A and B are shown apart, each in its own frame.
Chain A
Amino acid sequence: MLRGLSFAVDGGEYLEVTGPNGAGKTSLLRTLIGLVHAESGRITWNGRPILEDARAYHSQLAWLGHESPLKADLTAAENLAFGIGIRRRIDAVAVATALDEVGAQGFSDRPVRTLSAGQRRRVALAGVLLAGVPLWVLDEPATHLDADGQALVGRLVERQIVAGGIVVAAVHAPLPVVEAGTRRLGLSSK
């Protein structure tokens, strides 16, 4: 599906993957995080193949897929406490702070089933923040979000790369991130 791809991303960089529907953006991201195995070639993290110690690699990355990985019957705060809690120890204050940062403080105690798709996306983004890891891999992070929410995603990505982290995101519309740290990878469907 994808061939002839070769790239490296450094700390402090944001790699924006674009391309028409079906070009393989999601496949590329899922291969990068090790969920899908590449037929040939290799993917390394800090110079080591990612599957050599997949658990160590996975503990360094946060993945946000198309769907926001939330349980409809749990509240936003509960979702984060359980979802991120299996990765690392977090307390209620950290959860509340993260929800605050994505503008979700107003609905943190409501069951996720009552939230709109955009509100869910904000909660899922709070999860990425809470993971506290250097590598973010995001598939359409701004989907369902309003203008304010898209600006928020831009700010979060910027903060992550300024702090020396790496963000790889597949997007339809470019995120509002300063050009300095941004690199673009365009996939074509041919």
Chain B
Amino acid sequence: MSGAWQAARLVIERDLRLAFRNRAQLLHPLLFFAIVTTLFPLALSPEPSRLRDVAPGVLWVAALLASLLAIEFLFRDDAQDGTLEQYALSGQSLTWLLFAKTLSHWLLTGLPLALMSPVAAYGLGVAVEAVPGIIASITLGTIALSLLGAVTAGLTLGIRRGGAMLSLLTLPLAVPLLIFGAQATARAIAGEPVAGPMYLLAAFVVLGLTLAPLAAAAAVRISLE
């Protein structure tokens, strides 16, 4: 078993090191998120009460699209340089290695987005009390998105320039996350209990954790044929 843990640790460590050597790719989704959330007050109205009303939607649509930008890179480089092939032939479980890869992807994209969301929310006139709820909902939402993205990115690997296909495939499946995530955020901002939508987000995360790595491994295997 220690071999599997060691392998997962190396997969994550490699991805983190690569990301820090190539920071542009890492910063791109974050920059996108920051730009979109700051453009809304400029385009809509600087009036805090109106901004507060649209804040959940703005935060969630921006986070969703920023995650989508990042999902394209989840397996692409590894598929091109033959690393995925080596993963599939490593004697380790491909499901497990892809799970580790998805985790490192979330650490590099979802987690920074979740940590940045309070700043964006503050810019939209949201009160400090809502911050825990916003961070929690974006954290759960981005974990679920990374897991979903692992499946759709795996499925579109075999397609040349599969970027558009990836969006078409991922966005409809991400709609439930958007609905419940935005609802959790709206409730947090209004000072209402957030447990209901948050439990549903957590349920999506559990569903993703159990099924997504298996589906991603199956999809990647097909793309390697």
A73-B22, A86-B97, A87-B91 as given contacts; A37 in contact with B81, CB under 8 Å: no
Q: Is B90 an interface position by the 8 A CB rule?
A: yes
A167 close to B (CB within 8 Å): no
Report yes or no: B224 in contact with A35, Cβ–Cβ below 8 A: yes
Minimal beta-carbon separation of A66 from chain B (angstroms):
8
Please list the 6 inter-chain residue pairs (A to B) with the smallest Cβ-Cβ separation, ordered nearest first. Answer: A59-B91, A69-B82, A86-B7, A73-B21, A82-B14, A85-B10
B93: Cβ under 8 A from any A Cβ: yes
Q: Is A65 in contact with chain B by the CB < 8 A criterion?
A: yes
B85 CB–A CB distance under 8 Å: yes
Please give the distance in Å from A56's CB to the nearest CB on chain B. 7
A150 at interface, CB cutoff 8 A: no
Contacts of B13 in A (CB 8 A): 82
Q: Which of B11, B17, B80, B224 contacts A86 (CB 8 A)?
A: B11
A163 at the interface (CB under 8 A from B): no
A78 to B18, CA, bound (A): 11
Are the C-beta atoms of B17 and A78 separated by less than 8 Å? yes
Q: Which residue of B lies closest to A82 (CB)?
A: B14
Q: Per-residue 0/1 for A21-56: is the Cβ within 8 Å of any B Cβ (1 yes, 0 no)? A: 000000000000111110000000000000000011
Q: Are A56 and B91 in contact (CB under 8 A)?
A: yes
The 8 A CB mask of A57-69 against B (1 = contact, 0 = none) is 0111101010111
Inside 8 A of A72's CB, which chain B residues have their CB?
81
Interface code B1-37, partner A: CB below 8 Å = 1, 0 otherwise?
0010011001101100110011000000000000000
Q: Does A115 contact B (CB under 8 A)?
A: no
Given contacts A58-B91, A69-B82, A88-B3, 8 further A-B contacts (CB under 8 A): A35-B85, A36-B225, A59-B90, A67-B82, A71-B77, A71-B81, A74-B17, A85-B10
Please list the residues of chain B having a beta carbon within 8 angstroms of any beta carbon in chain A.
Answer: 3, 6-7, 10-11, 13-14, 17-18, 21-22, 77, 80-83, 85-93, 97, 224-225
Q: Which residues of B contact A59 (CB under 8 A)?
A: 90-91
A interface size (C-beta, 8 A): 30
- In the bound complex, do residue A69 and residue B7 qualify as a contact, i.e. CB atoms below 8 Å apart? no
Q: Please classify the interface of chain B as helix (H, G, I), strand (E, B), loop, or mixed, using the class held by over half of its residues.
A: helix
What are the residues of chain B within 8 A of A87 when measuring CB–CB?
7, 90-92
Contact of B85 among A65, A81, A85, A86 (CB under 8 A): A65
On A, residues with C-beta under 8 Å from B are 33-37, 55-56, 58-61, 63, 65, 67-74, 78, 81-83, 85-89
Q: Report the bound CA distance from A76 to B105 in whole Å.
A: 23
A-B contact pairs, 23 of them (CB 8 A): A33-B89, A35-B89, A35-B225, A36-B225, A55-B91, A55-B92, A58-B88, A61-B89, A63-B85, A65-B82, A65-B85, A69-B82, A71-B18, A72-B81, A78-B14, A82-B13, A82-B14, A85-B7, A86-B10, A86-B11, A86-B90, A87-B92, A89-B6
Q: Nearest chain-B residue to A127 (Cβ)?
A: B86
Closest chain B CB from A140 CB (angstroms): 13
Judging by beta carbons under 8 Å apart, are B10 and A82 in contact?
Answer: yes
CA distance A37 to B221 in the complex (A): 11
Nearest CB on A from B87, distance (A): 7
Contacts A35-B224, A86-B7, A86-B10; A69 near B83 (Cβ below 8 A): yes
Known: A35-B89, A56-B91, A87-B92. A67 touches B81 (CB 8 A): yes
Interface centre among B82, B89, B225 (most CB of A within 10 A): B89
